[in-house]
Structure 1
């Protein structure tokens, strides 16, 4: 019940965003951009992620990052992350300049809940080559949640990271950040798994997903989250629970697309062509399904 109360609180405070059949959205979560060291789980997927972002930028999509975009548990200094993945942030800045970038915070970048920290870290950065400060995301507001409201179909989509109510990753997140920064970041390099992470602990992940289902059933919401790292697209007889997955899988990144009032679960991966050339391809895993399937009854 605590998860439901926390999610409901996030829903009630969420920014409402109208959309229609002309709107296009891509949702990625749990990118976990790090410092490009051995502990940076995003680094091996940077080229796939960059390619996908450029595709969505050119195609007119709005990018909603559903929390944990930056790995601020392992790395205390965001500027180190920005420098390590400068190409990524230049694409993100293009989205932002076009008013097509919405950033939500999750447990791993909870620091951006603080507007003062956000202003210090995200509004501008020091350009090492030109040797002056340049704008990054000036005046950005990192949100806890957003609600997409369809103008023509009675559909409302609640988008939030999903750590809300998860005791270890919500109530005592500073403790977990400390352990991650000085303990687990070194151990997962050699293959040891953090039992507190829902991505690495199947029992914990299933418990969290059951709590999402309880919330959806109680409040009749269509929910898009991340946090567990496990992609989810509901079958016709299931509750409207969608999970973006993450961008740190060994071989691919996954996300949710909305286009033409349809929703789909997609992946991007490196795959060999018929002549053996490696290429980055997009594949629809589930869907697309019309959003009208999730209309309020």
Structure 2
């Protein structure tokens, strides 16, 4: 099935969110929270991510997690992921309690499209220290897509993970997940690259991005995605395509901020300050630019 067709299906069934120039969103994708083991690519960025989420919580942002927040291909039991990052899930649940959380599923956490799975694993979790079940995300609905409707410009922004139409990661995902869990999970620890991943294959990444641009031209909508792990602020040919990047880079995490009607690509990373102490910094990589400036 073509990417453009799948994106259109996602757009037509998307959860719609109206916003204005007073609204604030932070969009992260491809967090890939694992079990904090040797193969967990998120582990080295967990403190940066936690600090960034605290900043956005304190400053009134709504958190949009655009898929692949949890690494459910490599780790069969969700309880081990929550056990590894209980403090992070507790913080995310604070966004949820204040109605400031939207969660999408991607190919690596496709199980979240099933309401029964979400109810069993995310509505509550077992606290091994207190020997009790604690409330986490009661009643959570995980979506395939969001459409952000800007009241001031009437522009629509489709937010998806971006795996739609990527055959190995969409229609064929159960088989790809099996191979990832029982083969590439071990191979990538020693340096082998997974051929199904666009983040490890630039030819595949460029092909996917061309399909994104085609959909934007045909439908005259702005598009925000993740999946490729390649941060993007408007495509090379001028279409209004933005990519969050990922939270598994060796030197930090990237995301997209929307506030005051502007959109910006930001990076959070650690570097030494003037005294040599390691400090988490936020840098603006591209933007901010007002939504009215873009093509659609």
TM-score for the superposition, normalised by structure 1: 0.98
2:16 and 2:153 mapped to 1: Cα distance? 15
Structure 1 residue 235: Cα displacement: 6.6
Structure 1 residue 274: Cα displacement: 1.4
1:34 aligned residue: 34
Structure 2 regions of 5+ residues with no counterpart? none
Structure 1 residue 237: Cα displacement: 6.3
1:254 and 1:6 mapped to 2: Cα distance? 26
Alignment map for 1:34-113 (pairs within 5 Å)? 34-113=34-113
Q: In structure 2, the residue corresponding to 1:16 is in which secondary structure? A: strand
Structure 1 residue 294: Cα displacement: 2.6
2:295 and 2:172 mapped to 1: Cα distance? 37
2:155 aligned residue: 155
1:236 and 1:248 mapped to 2: Cα distance? 24
Measured against aligned partners, the alpha-carbon deviations of 1:125-174 in whole angstroms (never above 9, x if no partner) come to 11112211111000000000000101121211110000000000001100
1:15 aligned residue: 15
Structure 1 residue 226: Cα displacement: 0.1
Q: In structure 2, the residue corresponding to 1:199 is in which secondary structure? A: helix
2:226 aligned residue: 226
Alignment map for 1:128-147 (pairs within 5 Å)? 128-147=128-147
2:24 and 2:58 mapped to 1: Cα distance? 12
Quick check: 150-159 or 216-225, which moved more?
Answer: 150-159
For these two proteins, the number of residue pairs brought into alignment is 296
1:200 aligned residue: 200
* Stretches of 4+ aligned residues off by more than 4 angstroms: none
TM-score for the superposition, normalised by structure 2: 0.98
1:238 aligned residue: 238
Q: In structure 2, the residue corresponding to 1:248 is in which secondary structure? A: coil
Q: In structure 1, the residue corresponding to 2:25 is in which secondary structure? A: strand
Measured against aligned partners, the alpha-carbon deviations of 1:70-128 in whole angstroms (never above 9, x if no partner) come to 00000011111000011111110111111101100000000011111111011001111
Residue 237 to residue 170, structure 1, CA distance change in 2 (3 Å): closer
Structure 1 residue 270: Cα displacement: 0.2
1:6 aligned residue: 6
Alignment map for 1:244-255 (pairs within 5 Å)? 244-255=244-255
**Given the alignment of the two structures, is residue 271 of structure 1 paired with residue 271 of structure 2, yes or no?**
yes
Residue 235 to residue 189, structure 1, CA distance change in 2 (3 Å): closer
Q: In structure 2, the residue corresponding to 1:139 is in which secondary structure? A: coil
Please provide the CA RMSD for this pair: 1.1
In 2, are the aligned partners of 1:153 and 1:295 still within 8 Å (CA)? no
Residue 237 to residue 5, structure 1, CA distance change in 2 (3 Å): closer
1:292 and 1:203 mapped to 2: Cα distance? 32
**Given the alignment of the two structures, is residue 293 of structure 1 paired with residue 274 of structure 2, yes or no?**
no
2:133 and 2:86 mapped to 1: Cα distance? 14
In 2, are the aligned partners of 1:125 and 1:136 still within 8 Å (CA)? yes
1:157 and 1:235 mapped to 2: Cα distance? 15
